[in-house]
Amino acid sequence: MVNTHILVAGLGNITHPMTRHSIGHLIIDVLANRLGLYLAPDRVGYTARTDVQVGDDSVTLTLFKPKTLMNISGRPVVQMLRQTAVKPTNMIVIHDSLDHKPCTVSPKFGGSANGHNGVRSIIDALGGDKDFHRLRVGIGRDGDPANYVLGPLSPQERQFWGSTGGGPDLVWRELTRILEKSIKSR
Residue 115 Rama label (left phi>0; alpha psi -120 to 50; beta) = left
Distances, alpha carbon 170 to alpha carbons 15, 107, 115, 136, in Å: 26, 11, 24, 12
Question: Which of the residues 21, 25, 95, 133 is marked catalytic?
Answer: 21
Sign of CA dihedral 72, 70, 47, 89: negative
Adjacent-strand bridge partners of 46:
41, 65
| Residue 133 is a catalytic residue | no
| CA atoms within 13 A of residue 65's CA, in its CB half-sphere | 25
Which residues carry out catalysis? 21
